[in-house]
């Protein structure tokens, strides 16, 4: 599929699920002094994620052009680009994990046609110091989705990227990582988040390029969040 075909398929997929397509924001953001450029699909929607009503309703979908100046030192390696698009669907107080994760998995496997045996999921391992529980809800959804595709669905606790290099895949399919990998916030770390800052645990999907051999300079063992390029 071409870029244009993927974008159209994604927007159409969520329009069928009662989402409204919204226009992309300008690359230079309005009324947002936090960044020079729009760096994610979420950035222009932050006021609405914090409770401001959106004129198009509670279910939105878009394709946002982004310029990641904060990654500029890493551009050119096997994982980072500068200018790209983020496609995303947004629930403003409507649905949550039990709808979102199956929809995304369906889009990747049934619409785009990715082999589910090449997909791996990650979830938040929890943070005892801040009283944040392990995201078992997302892991249980992923487990059912992989099982339905007749793919192994073993859960593995990893922790940090360094822990992943030590532990490796362990024949796992669903991996728990700490806040350095599976927590989203603009402040970067949980303890640096202002009281009104949006953020929380996230769940991600990685695709395995099994023809790429692990490069041991990134650690002894490969795992979904390894920087060697085997997983994206």
List, for residues 141-183, the tens digit of each pLDDT value. 999 999 999 999 999 999 999 999 999 999 999 999 999 999 9
End-to-end CA distance of the chain: give it in Å, rounded.
18
DSSP-assigned beta bridge partners for residue 174: 121, 155
The percentage of the chain sitting over the pLDDT mark of 70, rounded to a whole number, equals 96
Q: Give the model's pLDDT for residue 187.
A: 74
| Spatial distance between the Cα atoms of 202 and 209, rounded to a whole number of angstroms | 23
- Note the pTM of the prediction, 2 decimals: 0.92
In order of 63, 100, 144, 217, the CA distances from 208 in angstroms are 24, 22, 20, 19
The domains found in the chain, sorted by start residue, are 1-95 (3.30.930.10), 96-232 (no CATH)
Q: What are phi and psi of 176, to 5 degrees?
A: -95, 125
Q: Which two tokens stand for residue 167?
A: 């532990």
Neighbouring residues of 63: CB distance < 8 A, sequence distance ≥ 6: 7, 10, 11, 24, 41, 85, 86, 87, 88
| Spatial distance between the Cα atoms of 127 and 148, rounded to a whole number of angstroms | 30
Q: Give the model's pLDDT for residue 71.
A: 65
């Amino acid at each position: 599929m071409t870029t244009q075909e993927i974008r159209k398929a994604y927007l159409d997929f969520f329009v069928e699920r009662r989402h409204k397509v919204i226009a992309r924001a300008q690359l230079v953001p309005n009324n947002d002094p936090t960044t020079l450029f729009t760096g994610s699909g979420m950035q222009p929607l932050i006021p609405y994620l914090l409770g401001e009503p959106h004129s198009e309703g509670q279910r939105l979908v878009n394709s946002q052009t982004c310029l990641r100046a904060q990654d500029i030192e890493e551009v050119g390696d096997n994982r980072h680009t500068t200018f790209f698009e983020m496609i995303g669907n947004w629930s403003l107080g409507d649905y949550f994990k039990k709808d979102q994760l199956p929809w995304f998995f369906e889009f990747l496997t049934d619409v785009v046609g990715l082999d589910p045996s090449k997909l791996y999921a990650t979830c938040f391992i929890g943070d005892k110091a801040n009283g944040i529980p392990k995201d078992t809800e997302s892991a249980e959804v992923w487990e059912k989705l992989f099982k339905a595709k007749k793919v192994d669905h073993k859960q593995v606790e990893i922790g940090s990227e360094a822990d992943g290099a030590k532990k490796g895949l362990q024949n796992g399919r669903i991996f728990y990582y700490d806040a350095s990998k599976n927590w989203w916030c603009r402040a970067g770390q949980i303890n640096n988040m202002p009281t009104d800052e949006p953020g929380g645990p996230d769940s991600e999907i990685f695709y395995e390029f099994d023809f790429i051999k692990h490069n041991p300079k990134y650690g002894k063992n490969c795992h979904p969040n390894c920087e060697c390029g085997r997983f994206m």
